[in-house]
Amino acid sequence: MERQLIRRLFPSGKKHFLANVLDYSGANRLLRHWDSWSGLLVLNYHRIGDPLECEFDRNLFSASQENFEKQVRLFQSSADLITVDDLETVLKADRGKHILITFDDGYRDNYELAFPVLKACHATALFFIATSFIDSPRFAWWSEIAWMVRNAQVNTIPADKWFDAPLEIGEGYPSQAIGQAVRRYWSLQDDETDDYLSSLAQATGAGRCPPSLAENLRMSWEMIQEMHEASMGFGGHTVNHPILAQISASRQREEIVGCRDRLAEKLGTAPLSFGYPVGQAHMFTSETKQILQEAGYRFAFSFYGNHCKTSHQDWLDIPRCSIEYSLPRAILNSRLTIPQIFAKN
């Protein structure tokens, strides 16, 4: 018991230790009401619910429904929780603490679990949709990779064309191996991705994931339209969720414009916001930004940490930081009081 308490108070990471000091000393509670920062803190969620019930990538879960509600109320008491319509005003403001909630990829739990919470809290969020997954429900590459590794018939995948060292899958839920296999996909060129997935299907012995499992994974257009009518914001996230930096300019244009046109057709208005798929700094280029601008997008969100300071000029690279299921409460509290330190990845 004592050892557990000591470990809780003095965790190994320096940032976690500092967060605990701020939280247990009451400093976070005080700072919440002071101007300890100004600008826009954009938080990113993927899935809401219980990861243990999921057959795919459990790393994508951001919070249980109960914790999501606590978090939304915490944001409301810590800053101005803004809507997508406030974005321009907030980015031009020279003071104030603002928070925007975003969701990526259009999972069905966003409608079933997050939407009721947002309505109950009189809050909104911005949802980034990769349109082809709504039009024809199927697996995205990261879900299929997670499923194949999780259903592997082997404990190790030997080093091969794709992996410099053997991929250790091990027992239980192979979170680390899934992460490694997903990251390997990030580095592939467009014409290598199918080969990689086929090779992984064979090496794991799991085969390709049966498409029937994808049926209820995403929201339907009817759900999206209902949310849109209830003031939820929607933004583009491409048609097929490729890593934009890895594909040609003409393919990028198809993905960016195609997504814009499909959202405009279904929602009656063209999206002004865009979330870069995966969103790390090297996942999009200046050419991508140019295409976005030509397509009429005004705001584009990356995903490599940080908050957006008041002087932030580049509206096509608005930083976001992720909310993870295992994020310690003290770090979340500290992120809302000192994002200069705690919103960094």
Q: Identify which range of 80-88, 214-222, 270-278, 336-344 contacts Zn ion by CB under 5 A.
A: 270-278
Q: Which letter, b or e, does each residue of 212-232 get, where b requires 16 or more Cβ atoms within 10 Å of its Cβ?
A: ebbeebbbebebbeebbeeeb
Question: Among 233, 287, 221, 227, which Cα is nearest to 256's?
Answer: 287
Least distance to Zn ion from the beta carbon of 105, Å?
4
Least distance to Zn ion from the beta carbon of 320, Å?
12
Least distance to Zn ion from the beta carbon of 300, Å?
13
Least distance to Zn ion from the beta carbon of 297, Å?
16
Choice between 104 and 317, CB closer to Zn ion:
104
Residue nearest to Zn ion (CB): 104
Scan residues 273-312 and list those touching Zn ion (CB under 5 A): 277
Give strand pairing partners of 101. 43
**Near Zn ion by CB under 5 A: residue from 57, 69, 105, 317:** 105
**Contact status: 57 vs Zn ion (CB under 5 A):** no
Choice between 64 and 280, CB closer to Zn ion:
280
Give yes or no for a contact between 83 and 122, defined as CB atoms under 8 angstroms apart.
no
**Contact status: 104 vs Zn ion (CB under 5 A):** yes
Choice between 67 and 238, CB closer to Zn ion:
238
Torsion-angle region of 306 (φ positive above 0: left; ψ -120 to 50: alpha; else: beta): left
Measured N-to-C along each axis, helices 175-186 and 141-150 cross at an angle, to the nearest 10 degrees, of 140
What span, in angstroms and rounded, lies between the C-alpha atoms of 141 and 147? 10
Containing 322, the helix (H) or strand (E) segment is strand 321-322
Least distance to Zn ion from the beta carbon of 108, Å?
15
Least distance to Zn ion from the beta carbon of 307, Å?
20
**Contact status: 255 vs Zn ion (CB under 5 A):** no
What span, in angstroms and rounded, lies between the C-alpha atoms of 65 and 112? 10
Cα distances (angstroms) measured from residue 51 to each of 44, 60, 310: 17, 8, 36
Q: Identify which range of 58-66, 97-105, 112-120, 146-154 contacts Zn ion by CB under 5 A.
A: 97-105
- Residue 172 CB-density burial (10 A; 0-12 exposed, 13-18 middle, 19+ buried): exposed
Choice between 97 and 260, CB closer to Zn ion:
260
Binding site for Zn ion (CB under 5 A): 104-105, 277
